[in-house]
Structure 1
Amino acid sequence: MPTVMRIGSFRFYFYSHEPNEPPHIHVDQGDATIKVWLDSGEVAKSRGFRAHEINDIIKLVANHRDALTEAWHEYFG
């Protein structure tokens, strides 16, 4: 599970066994987790985050979309 970046208490990463899915990022904070599609910025699934936290995470993903997408393509080819 390569960690791409950390912002505050959020860890942004992807699983190395998901190369056949569209580019996305997983974000964890404690026991809470969310998966966000990088192209659309939509939530694929979420567990444990409150609505305002999800909105904050979506904004962080949007603000760092280029770097996250580049990391995805560098890792998966």
Structure 2
Amino acid sequence: MPVVFRWKGHRFHFFANEGDPREPAHIHVSRAGATAKFWLSPEVELAYDRNFDARTIKRLQEVVEERRAELEDAWNDFFA
């Protein structure tokens, strides 16, 4: 599972096997038993959240939006 970056103990990653057919570009965020998934386009959108509080999800979404280009580049480079 490629890790794109870490931020304040959160791991931003995707899985090498993202479905068949492959799902659209997205990022998983994990930390200490909590996980979330964000779609990257057409807009950054929360796909699901398991065990993060609302404040953390809001901040994680901001981080994904701020670093969206980097996340999309990592996705495209890996799956090219």
Provide the TM-score with structure 2 as the length reference: 0.93
Task: Structure 2: state its 5+ residue gaps.
Answer: none
Letter in structure 2 aligned against 1:71: A
- Report the secondary structure of 1:18's partner residue: coil
Task: Structure 1: state its 5+ residue gaps.
Answer: none
Identity within the alignment, % = 40
Q: Does 1:60 align with 2:31?
A: no
Write the distance in 2 (CA, Å) between the matches of 1:8 and 1:52.
14
RMSD: 0.8
Q: Which residue of 2 aligns with 1:38?
A: 40
- Equivalences for residues 1-77 of structure 1 within 5 A: 1-18=1-18, 20-39=22-41, 40-77=43-80
How many residue pairs align between the two structures? Answer: 77
Once the two structures are superposed, what CA deviation does each residue of 1:14-65 show, in whole Å capped at 9, x if it has no partner?
0110061000000011100000001121111110001111000000000000
Write the distance in 2 (CA, Å) between the matches of 1:53 and 1:2.
22
Query: How far apart are 1:8 and its partner, in Å?
Result: 1.3
- Report the secondary structure of 1:15's partner residue: coil
